[in-house]
């Protein structure tokens, strides 16, 4: 079963920094979907070298149970039920840029009963209740297809429990509902108030707009990209999760033969209580200038 470790191995063994796929019939950038998402699909499925679109589609289908859309999380789900991670892909243009999550708050896990996911996502595989969430963040130079930085981070190492964010949502919604003499309409947003003005022609909509610092400034206390590298990769996985994978020996073996790939022991802050430090693996790779 494909996982984050096999994705790293695929990346290191076949490093590419251009977000362009070449078809077998003519040279063209893949027009299907966001280029970074297609790149991530190739890394996780191992289809980087596949130029036949039909064959690649079969590989993608065998690897992922769900390919999402821009308005509802997640972007991708690996097959495997509760063991198949969900993946959110985010593109930014600078190392310090924040991630725009829009109406979806940060997620340490993806839950099947979430009102933010579509029925097609919930029904993609039978019997799953929660999945790990992996945030994949790529830094792509403006107006180019050049990928300069890539980060993999598990939601449980990056985001607080959902109650932290839902408390804010609940408080804002309750505050609006407590306003006297307003006409509320049923909505999936925070609030929809009708007939705000005396003529009754104005309405007010309130919706959450979430954002979060990207993993590079968030984990700058354990990782700094190489300034002279053409490409930097960083992944953080807590030890408990890392030890669950059955293919980590392949990664260690690869690192022993490639001095640009390193696996280090670090301690990271618990997103729910930064006073607690979690043991984790920092996996880095770079392509030199």
What's the pLDDT score for residue 26?
38
Asked if residue 192 is part of any domain, the answer here is no
Asked if residue 96 is part of any domain, the answer here is yes
Asked if residue 180 is part of any domain, the answer here is no
Asked if residue 30 is part of any domain, the answer here is yes
User: What is the total count of domains within the chain?
Assistant: 1
* Structure tokens given for 274: 């930064």
pTM of the predicted model as reported, rounded to 2 decimal places: 0.92
Asked if residue 169 is part of any domain, the answer here is no
Distance of CA 189 to the CA centre of its chain: 23
What's the pLDDT score for residue 21?
67
Structural domain range at position 280: 4-160+210-287
Asked if residue 166 is part of any domain, the answer here is no
- pLDDT mean values, one per 10 residues, the chain (289 residues): 95 92 46 77 95 95 92 92 94 95 92 92 94 97 92 98 93 90 87 91 90 97 96 98 96 97 98 98 93
Asked if residue 173 is part of any domain, the answer here is no
Strand partners, 234: 151, 284
Rounded CA gap, 267 and 279, in Å? Answer: 5
Contact 161, 218 (CB under 8 A): no
What's the pLDDT score for residue 164?
96
What's the pLDDT score for residue 22?
57
């Amino acid at each position: 079963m494909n996982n984050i470790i096999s994705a790293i191995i695929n990346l290191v063994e076949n490093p590419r920094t251009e977000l362009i796929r070449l078809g077998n019939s003519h040279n063209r950038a893949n027009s299907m979907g966001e280029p970074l998402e297609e790149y991530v699909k190739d890394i996780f499925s191992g289809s980087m070298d596949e130029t036949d679109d039909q064959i690649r589609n079969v590989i993608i289908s065998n690897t992922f149970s769900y390919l999402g859309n821009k308005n509802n999380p997640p972007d991708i789900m690996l097959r495997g039920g509760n063991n198949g991670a969900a993946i959110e892909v985010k593109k930014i243009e600078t190392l310090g840029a924040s991630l725009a999550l829009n109406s979806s708050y940060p997620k340490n896990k993806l839950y099947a009963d979430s009102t933010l996911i579509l029925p097609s996502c919930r029904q993609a595989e039978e019997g799953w209740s929660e999945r790990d969430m992996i945030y994949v963040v790529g830094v792509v130079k403006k107006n180019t297809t050049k990928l300069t930085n890539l980060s993999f981070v598990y939601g449980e190492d990056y985001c607080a429990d959902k109650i932290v964010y839902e408390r804010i949502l609940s408080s804002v919604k309750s505050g609006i509902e407590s306003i006297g003499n307003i006409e509320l309409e049923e909505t999936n947003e925070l609030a929809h108030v009708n007939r705000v003005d005396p003529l009754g022609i104005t309405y007010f909509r309130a919706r959450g707009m979430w954002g979060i610092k990207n993993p590079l400034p968030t984990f700058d206390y354990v990782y700094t990209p190489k300034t002279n590298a053409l490409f930097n990769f960083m992944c953080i996985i807590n030890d408990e999760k890392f030890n669950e994978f059955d293919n980590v020996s392949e990664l260690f073996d690869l690192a022993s033969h490639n001095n640009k790939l390193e696996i280090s022991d670090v301690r990271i802050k618990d997103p729910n209580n930064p006073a607690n430090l979690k043991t984790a693996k920092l996996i880095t790779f770079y392509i030199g200038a």
